[in-house]
Structure 1
């Protein structure tokens, strides 16, 4: 099969290769997927750059993708052959991901893709959609709540904003540019804060009549933690975070947390419990079947253009999920 891979960590142009690799065969309990698209996440390019040292002969990157099951292993219902699916954790804890014509995975990691969703949209799911759904779950969002979504035009939080809205919440988003604000307005979000130009805490308190929000869904704890002390979270508020640019010591005011019974919740989407994963997968598919999710598809590259695909993600200039066409 044709695939992209790397044998050592380093810059995209120095280590990524394209060519022929052995076509995988599904083992017991596995399915083989003929991939249409592979989705590139920031974590994929960070792993290739060195955040996860190469411990196998080679790594076929990317955890997200979409395609059609063409073979099944022992113990898997043969009726799954021909099923359209999307993947999760394809290259987490294993060397062979979705940046290839085929991937073999445990069958529960190949999730039925509703017919109203395209293959490109299926490849956008995985890490972003499951992260967003778990964040909204942990935020305990209910109808009538007010939610602050940090970076509403990011791949994850574009989904999170929609999921919170679907539950009946009023959603306020921060964005980094006017172009991203325009994108969110087109998606139906009008309460937007340009964090590079406006004071986020002051704007949130203005929008909420000084009451604050019931939840914050955050992608960078190192910059958003200060919002707690600034009174942005109302009493019994939920601060849910799945990332931070600074992975070291980040100060948080205990005096701002305890009197208002504020909860801090952190999670890593790769390590969801079986129960959490089931809730998230079923929840995402329910929203897909209902047709309520919009998707941020970014540029699409051919498989042999893998270097350009990784460099596009690393540039930080692209809005939406960068895809690789595998067929």
Structure 2
């Protein structure tokens, strides 16, 4: 099979396309013929900086956690009826050497989730890490539901910073599905259109000035939850617009940014900061998130493409380096690699 690999940390030139044997599924595993591989920021960061102490966990790494395809073989203990299922994949490369940047991938059966008939493979490859991170953000507020579904966030106001990004897009769609009032902030007029297409009821351009006042005009009592991509840069804004008892769920790092919190203010208003990394959630949290996201997909609540607020940028397998550069460069939308 064709696969993209790297054996040392570094820039895009460490990526190579090679031929490797088709892997065989073991107990509890499925093999998926990959159609599309989804690229996330963590993929180029792991390639450039390594997994731990600047090193790789394995002698050779096939990157990418997310993807979609069709199950073509199952291992012992997995029902034979799974063969032929169209599936979306999550965390394929988490603490494993073999991700989705290859024609085939083997992974535990639970990490290959069946796609309903109306869901495209493009959607399947775009779900994974962004949707799981968004799920954790939306369930991290004080008195928030542990599970998401229609009506579970009714009566709550959610502010999504960077509503046109991959996680922001998923947060807007999931929060809307759950009945929340959703405000998204963006930095450009074209991104306003994308956030509205994703389902945000209100969109504020944070470069136009008066952002806090605009948000307060929409939500006079304040927002209950901020899904935050830039906790350092947006600290002041978030504290201005949060309702008493509100929460900031931060999933972005801004490089080596630090958040200096005014403790007296936070204590006086009973505010909360929750930092989110989907990869290190517990197995139980991940399974709950996957189940809720799958339910949203089945309900038609998640979508991709320009009309759904998430433009798709597609590359062939041999241009994986270009795809990594696109994500690192902040391309608006979802970067996908066509494999099948």
Bin the TM-score by the shorter chain: over 0.9
**In the alignment, does 2:6 pair up with 1:6?**
yes
| Long gaps (5+) in structure 2 | 145-151, 305-309
Matched, 1:321 2:320: no
2:320 equivalent among 306, 309, 317: 306
Secondary structure of the residue aligned to 1:240 is strand
2:187 paired residue number: 176
Residues in 2 aligned to 1:322 and 1:249: alpha-carbon distance in whole angstroms: 28
Is 1:194 the equivalent of 2:205? yes
Contact 1:121–1:297 (CA<8 Å) still a contact in 2?
Answer: no
* From 201, 206, 229, the counterpart of 2:217: 206
- 1:290 matches 2:299: yes
Once the two structures are TM-superposed, the CA of residue 89 in structure 1 deviates from its matched residue by 0.9
Residue 225 of structure 1: aligned partner = 235
1:207 Cα deviation from its structure 2 partner: 2.4
Shift in Å, 1:56:
2.1
Contact 1:149 1:174 in 2 (8 A): yes
Alpha-carbon spacing, 1:51–1:297, altered in 2? closer, same or farther (3 Å): farther
Instruction: Give 1:189 deviation, angstroms.
Output: 2.8
TM-score (norm 1): 0.94
Pair 1:274 & 2:273 matched: no
**Cα shift at 1:199:** 3.6
Cα offset, 1:186, TM superposition = 3.1
Q: Secondary structure at the match of 2:253?
A: coil
What is the CA deviation profile of residues 208-258 of structure 1, one whole-angstrom value per residue up to 9, with x for unaligned ones? Answer: 23x2111111112111222344x3111111211112204354200112211
Distance of 1:182 and 1:48 partners within structure 2: 33
Shift of 1:109: 1.0
Q: Tell me by how many angstroms 1:297 deviates.
A: 4.5
The number of aligned residues is 323
Q: Tell me which of 113, 116, 127 is aligned to 2:115.
A: 113
Aligned to 1:16: 15
**Distance in 2 (alpha carbons) for counterparts of 1:309 and 1:187:** 23
Residue pairs, 1:41-56, within 5 angstroms = 41-52=40-51, 53-56=55-58
Query: Structure 1 stretches (4+) deviating beyond 3 angstroms?
Result: 246-249
Distance 1:109 1:294 in 2: 20
Say whether the 8 Å CA contact 1:85–1:122 is kept in structure 2. yes
Secondary structure in 1 aligned to 2:268?
A: coil
Name the residue aligned to 2:92: 90
Q: Considering only aligned residues, what root-mean-square deviation do their CA atoms show, in Å?
A: 1.6
Partner SS, residue 269 of structure 2: coil
**Secondary structure, counterpart of 1:27 in structure 2:** coil
* Partner Cα separation in structure 1 for residue 258 and residue 195 of structure 2: 33
TM-score, length-scaled by structure 2:
0.91
Task: State how far apart, in whole Å, the 1-side matches of 2:69 and 2:199 are.
Answer: 30
Question: What SS does the aligned partner of 1:129 have?
Answer: helix
Q: Distance in 1 between matches of 2:94 and 2:199?
A: 34
